[in-house]
Structures are given as structure tokens and as C-alpha cells.
Structure 1
Amino acid sequence: MNDPDAFLVVEDLSVEFPTPDGPVRAVNNLSYTLGLGQTLGIVGESGSGKSVSSMAVLGLHDADRTKITGSIRVGGTEVVGLNEPGLRKLRGNSVAMIFQDALAALHPFYRVGSQLAEAYQVHHPSASRRDARRKAIEMLDRVGIPQPDSRVDDFPHQFSGGMRQRAMIAMGLINDPSLLIADEPTTALDVTVQAQILDLLQDLQREFNSAVVIITHDLGVIAEMADEVLVMYAGRCVEYGPTKEILVSPEMPYTWGLLSSIPDVSADIDARLIPIPGNPPSLLSPPSGCSFHPRCAHVDKVPGDLCATQLPELLEGSNGPGHVKRCHLANPQEVFRREVLAEIAPDLVEES
């Protein structure tokens, strides 16, 4: 988690939005690192700070209306406080982002190929319009758009949802960035198209050796793609570690809740999902202590009112170095196996 030589280094990042009702602290003291060729999955409910933290990496927040503290280094360049010309040079070149809604991200009045060509020419000013168009066709072909020579002149509304997402990936990769941030890249796509998009991202990552941050609610996507997982809640990291450890031996009750909410195709047809009770907290007035404690079913296992009064530190868990969790529970693995795993996957408990 603390590799100063990584391509992306985020240290103590906080993002605050002033509002008439008070400050909204969307991200609180977030730290993580990511090396080239590696994939980090960021998971959590809506409003947990996933997209806000990633938009900060590209400097996309309005500097006049946002208070950002901490450090974000992309390839050694400090992003926090960087001027607009520096940010423009960084965006699309060293780091690119695939946005959640491709139809909203692509301009409806311009042809898809023109938008890709513009993204290329911004960082290759010596390239002619013909060269940029040729590059746009090449990228559309690379991401699997059929008949790219003719589809390059289509408008976004003439593409299907899956094709628009592929076009967004082509735009993100047209300048061979070292860091690619994918914000819910498979939202609103059918299952087969989702699989194709994920396979495409993995193939392109291997080709370009890019570092990839994938933001998603889908832990199935995380299991397939991510090397490490960052679990966020109320703007904070609550658990972080290798994907297998997070999915098999999680140590934070919020992560347990996310896992319990996943449908199990091998379960009985009468089996019920186990949702996390309540709603995510308001970031205008978050709960004291552990932000998750009003929704946590395990508060009674912690002595006194520690959960309600003291914010847990992010400490190394039972799985060893590299896996950290923010929780006051003294024996989280035992509780997980005895209560959570026994309910959502009793066969695993019996086998062990």
C-alpha cells in the first residue's frame, strides 16, 4: 500500500466541497499506490467517495469550489495544486478516464471519429488531420468496432451501448496512457457485453502495460480483474489488500455486508439476499466514531461505546502485511466464519 516508486501514489488525500449547509467531506485521508501493469479495484456503495477520489487524480474538480489536501503523484508529477496547462498535458496522455455514462461523456453533436482525433491531436500537435483520423480508425478497430472505416463517421447515438463504451475505451487509450481509470465501465450493459468489455480492458492492459483503477459495485468484476481491492465507506478506506484475501478472509463488517449482498447461483431458490441495513450516512454530518457503526450488526462485540465514539485506525489485519482494516473488532476472522460465512456459504464452513 505504501510504495513510493509506484506510478500512482495517493497520500492522505481529502476532498471537501463547501455548501450552504456546511462542508461535505467526500474523501478523508485516503492513501494507496498502484504500479504499472497492476489493477486496483475500488468498491463501495454510492456516495462512498470512489469517483470523487479518482476525479481528483485527473484534477477534474473545480479548484474554486473544492478544497483538496494531501498528495497525488502520477509518474512523479504532483497533481494537487498543478496549474491548468499542466493538468491538460497530463490528462489523456499520462492518465485517462473511462466515464460511467458513455452517452453523456461523448459530445452528441460531433462524430465519434472527430472526438477521438481531437484527443490525439491535443497531445500530438504536429499530427495532421489525416494522421489523426487514421489513428482514430486504428483504435476503433483495436477495441472491436466493426467496419471502423465507416463507423468512424457515426454520431454517438448511432452506436449501441456496448459500442459507445468501446469508443470511450479507444479515446482513453489513443495516447497510450500509463494510467487508466475505469469508472463503472460495464454499467447498464448486458452480461455478455460486460464480459467482452472486461476482456478487452485486460487485453489492452497487457498490451500497453498500463496501471488500471477500476471503480465498480460488482465484486464479480473485482474478482476477475483486480490484483488489490480498496473498500471505501463514507469517504474513507475501511479495508485494503490483495483481492483473494479481501474476498475470502475479509476483516471489516462493511466488506462482509457487500459480500452477503451478492446472489449465489448455487444457493436454494428460496435463499434470500442479506442486504446491509439502513442507508449510507450523510457526509454533511457523518456519524461519530466508526461511520459504519449505526448499520453494523457486530457493535455489541466491542466493549463499551468504542464504535460510536472513536474512529478506528487503519491497522494491519490477521492476514499479514498488505492487508489493512479499519475496525475495533478484536477477532474479526472468527466472527466472520462463525456468523457471516456460516449464513452465506455454510458448505465452506463445513469443509473446513
Structure 2
Amino acid sequence: MTSPSSASSSTDVDGPFLQVEDLTVTFPTQDGPVQAVKGLSYSVELGKTLGIVGESGSGKSVSSMAVMGLHDARSSEITGSIRVGGTEVVGLAENRMRKLRGNSMAMIFQDALAALHPFYRVGEQLAEGYSQHHPKASKRDARRKAIEMLDRVGIPQPDRRVDDFPHQFSGGMRQRAMIALGLINDPSLLIADEPTTALDVTVQAQILDLLQDLQREFNSAVIIITHDLGVIAEMADDVLVMYAGRCVEFGTTKEILTRPEMPYSWGLLSSIPEVGASTDARLIPIPGNPPSLLSPPTGCAFHPRCAHRDKVPGDLCVTEMPSLTSASNRAGHLKRCHLPNPEEIYRTEVLPEIAPDLAEETR
């Protein structure tokens, strides 16, 4: 196990900065165990962005909170491996975890107003985050660093706004302050959980541009968790699609958005409006609701909602969990599905329904 001191020089680690292998997160309850994440594996390299998408309850935030070590060990069970900068964090003592959290890795939460303490000034919270990992820094140095970070994330008049309380900031400014708090110690891994939720489209674009600029500046590995495939298209290099706690498809952003092979991914794409579509065009929602993780369906968890399960021979969808295998023999593109010819089904049946103009072009 790597020591915290060696983990802090994380840019010297060979291979991906974050490596998650066979991660399972279970919450014991009176009604039985809830497996919120099951056998999840992925990695993120420095300078790259991984987008994690899926409906609410699919395990996106739970898996990322496990990476940050934010689950209470008394009410959760975590198995598998999570290596951050070469350090195994599953089972790591809390005092050592605190040295990694905020220093080697940081998280931007989706509700900035709830994440920032309402009783303390924004600058005080940033300065405290800096002082925790720089004990020799004076209060003046910490305040100067807070002002510098507020300026870097585009807060106007940072030397004055540093003394404001969170409620005195607009929604977009609070989100910028959260980004400043996450980046104040130059972490190598940044997890952004729905960073543009409840912001208008203009501010959303500014926040995404800011994250991309800061990633280039710090060469950070970034995970962005979102429901918005438009955000994924703009920011992510790779996409991990989650359903019922598992990865159901993984690939490059281009592959996932143009040649998806899992019916759940098709459903996500069909439920967003097509650019240039008629104002009378209807969105196609995914039927039904996400499964209960207390008693998930047998076989493929998506089969009760899947419109294509009748194309699979026998009862495989109901009786057997599909493995995560290569999609149409394309290296790096993985899908968890029993469909024998998903690429053909998507091209001839799904694409004409969700994007008729694009389907016509590809014929």
C-alpha cells in the first residue's frame, strides 16, 4: 500500500490516475441489503474526462462517493479496489483518507448552496480547505489563496466577494465558488456531480468552459456525473452508462452517441430533443420505472422495460445476466446485452424513430 506522502506526488504514477476494479457498494437495511453498485470497473487518466450517465438511482453518485471515501463504514459495505494515484483507498484509515481527500482528489457537489456552510463566509471556507493541507501557511496566505482561486474561476471583484456569505452569491457564482473550493489544493482528480443542475443555459455553458479551461491548466483527471447528454457530448472523452448499479455500456463519446448498442442507451438518446427537429416532434420516454435495488429483476435488470427483448432467443433476458462484452468487435466499446445484432437494430429500427434525418443520411 502506497503511503499518503508518495500519493501526493500523484503525477508520477504510471498508468491511469484512478483505477476502480470490481467495486460493489451495499447498504444493509431492515428490509434487506441494497446493492447500489455492483461489480463496477473503470479507469481515468490524467488530462482525460469520463462521463457517467444514467437515471436517478443508477449508482452514479454512490460510486463516486465511494472513490472519495464519503460512505459511513457503519452503514455501508464496500468491496473491490479503488486506487487513487497508486494508493488503495478501500479500507484506508480515515486520517489517511483525509490527507488524500481535497489534496489528491476533490468533488464538486450538485447543490452548491447545501454544500457551502451558510454561517461562514465563502473566503473562510476556501481558506480552511487550503490550511487543512498546508498547515504551515499563515491565515494571510490562506486568504490570499482564496482570493486567487475566486479570481481564477471568474468571480468579479474577488477581494471583496471573498467576505460574502453563500446566500449573497448567485447560483452560477456559488457553483464557481464550489469549483474554486475543489481546486484550491490542485487535486489530480476532480469529480463533478451534476455541476450544471438548476443553472440557466448561458451559465451552464460558462461553467463547462471553466471546467475545461481548468482541466487544461491543472492536467486533472475529471469525472462528470450528469443526466444531460449534451454536457457529455461537449466535455467527455469516454462515457460509462450505468443502470441498476452496473455498467451497461462503455466507450468513447463518439461511439456511445452515434453507435450505441445497449437498448437502455437508445432510450436515453431517444428521450432528448433532436437539434433542428420540428416543434411538434414528440420525445420517446423509456417506459416503466427503474428497478428496486432491494429486489432487482432476474437476468438483465433492464428487461422489464426493454422493447427489444423479444428479439433474443429463449428466455435469456429473464434468466441470465449478460456479460460486459465487446460491441460488434470494436475494441474499447463494451455493452451488456444479449441482442445478437444490436448495431443493425439501432440503424434500421431505432435511429429512424429518434433521428429520421440522420437515419436517411446513413442509408
Tell me the TM-score normalised to structure 2 length.
0.95
Quick check: 1:13 aligned with 2:23? yes
In the other structure, the counterpart of 1:128 is 138
What is the alpha-carbon distance in structure 2 between the residues aligned to residue 33 and residue 128 of structure 1? 37
What is the alpha-carbon distance in structure 2 between the residues aligned to residue 207 and residue 133 of structure 1? 22
What is the alpha-carbon distance in structure 2 between the residues aligned to residue 265 and residue 205 of structure 1? 28
Q: Is the 8 A contact 1:245 1:319 kept in 2?
A: no
Quick check: 1:187 aligned with 2:175? no
Q: CA RMSD in A?
A: 1.0
What is the alpha-carbon distance in structure 1 between the residues aligned to residue 35 and residue 176 of structure 2? 33
Alignment of 1:53-92 (within 5 A): 53-92=63-102
In the other structure, the counterpart of 2:326 is 316
What is the alpha-carbon distance in structure 2 between the residues aligned to residue 90 and residue 158 of structure 1? 31
Q: Cα distance, 1:4 vs. partner? A: 7.9
In structure 2, do the counterparts of structure 1 residues 287 and 324 end up closer, same or farther at CA, with 3 Å as the change threshold?
same
In structure 2, do the counterparts of structure 1 residues 337 and 4 end up closer, same or farther at CA, with 3 Å as the change threshold?
farther
Match for 1:210 among 217, 220, 223? 220
What is the alpha-carbon distance in structure 1 between the residues aligned to residue 43 and residue 263 of structure 2? 24
In the other structure, the counterpart of 2:32 is 22
Quick check: 1:286 aligned with 2:296? yes
Quick check: 1:332 aligned with 2:342? yes
Quick check: 1:170 aligned with 2:180? yes
Please tell me the residue identity of whatever aligns with 1:180. Answer: L
What is the alpha-carbon distance in structure 1 between the residues aligned to residue 165 and residue 329 of structure 2? 50
Match for 2:352 among 322, 337, 342? 342
Q: Is the 8 A contact 1:260 1:344 kept in 2?
A: yes
In the other structure, the counterpart of 1:231 is 241
Please tell me the residue identity of whatever aligns with 1:221. Answer: V
Give percent identity, aligned residues only: 81
- Secondary structure (helix, strand or coil) at the match of 1:322 reads strand
Q: Is the 8 A contact 1:14 1:27 kept in 2?
A: yes
What is the alpha-carbon distance in structure 2 between the residues aligned to residue 76 and residue 300 of structure 1? 45
- The count of aligned residue pairs is 350
Q: Cα distance, 1:254 vs. partner? A: 0.1
What is the alpha-carbon distance in structure 2 between the residues aligned to residue 319 and residue 313 of structure 1? 14
Q: Describe the superposition over 1:211-245 as per-residue Cα deviations: whole angstroms up to 9, x where unpaired.
A: 00000000000000000000000000000010000
In structure 2, do the counterparts of structure 1 residues 256 and 319 end up closer, same or farther at CA, with 3 Å as the change threshold?
farther
- Secondary structure (helix, strand or coil) at the match of 2:330 reads coil
Q: Is the 8 A contact 1:341 1:349 kept in 2?
A: yes
Q: Describe the superposition over 1:141-173 as per-residue Cα deviations: whole angstroms up to 9, x where unpaired.
A: 000001000100000000000000000000000
What is the alpha-carbon distance in structure 2 between the residues aligned to residue 265 and residue 250 of structure 1? 19
Q: Cα distance, 1:81 vs. partner? A: 0.2
Q: Cα distance, 1:304 vs. partner? A: 0.9
Quick check: 1:156 aligned with 2:172? no
Q: Cα distance, 1:265 vs. partner? A: 3.3
Structure 1: 4+ residue segments shifted above 3 A: none
In the other structure, the counterpart of 2:9 is none
- Secondary structure (helix, strand or coil) at the match of 2:331 reads coil
- Secondary structure (helix, strand or coil) at the match of 2:32 reads coil
Task: Mark the runs of 5 or more structure 2 residues left unpaired by the alignment.
Answer: 1-12
In the other structure, the counterpart of 1:48 is 58
Q: Cα distance, 1:338 vs. partner? A: 1.0
In structure 2, do the counterparts of structure 1 residues 181 and 218 end up closer, same or farther at CA, with 3 Å as the change threshold?
same
Alignment of 1:254-265 (within 5 A): 254-265=264-275
Q: Describe the superposition over 1:279-330 as per-residue Cα deviations: whole angstroms up to 9, x where unpaired.
A: 0000000000000000000000001111011000000011611100000000
Tell me the TM-score normalised to structure 1 length.
0.98
Please tell me the residue identity of whatever aligns with 1:102. Answer: A
Quick check: 1:200 aligned with 2:210? yes
In structure 2, do the counterparts of structure 1 residues 207 and 4 end up closer, same or farther at CA, with 3 Å as the change threshold?
closer
Quick check: 1:114 aligned with 2:114? no
- Secondary structure (helix, strand or coil) at the match of 1:323 reads strand
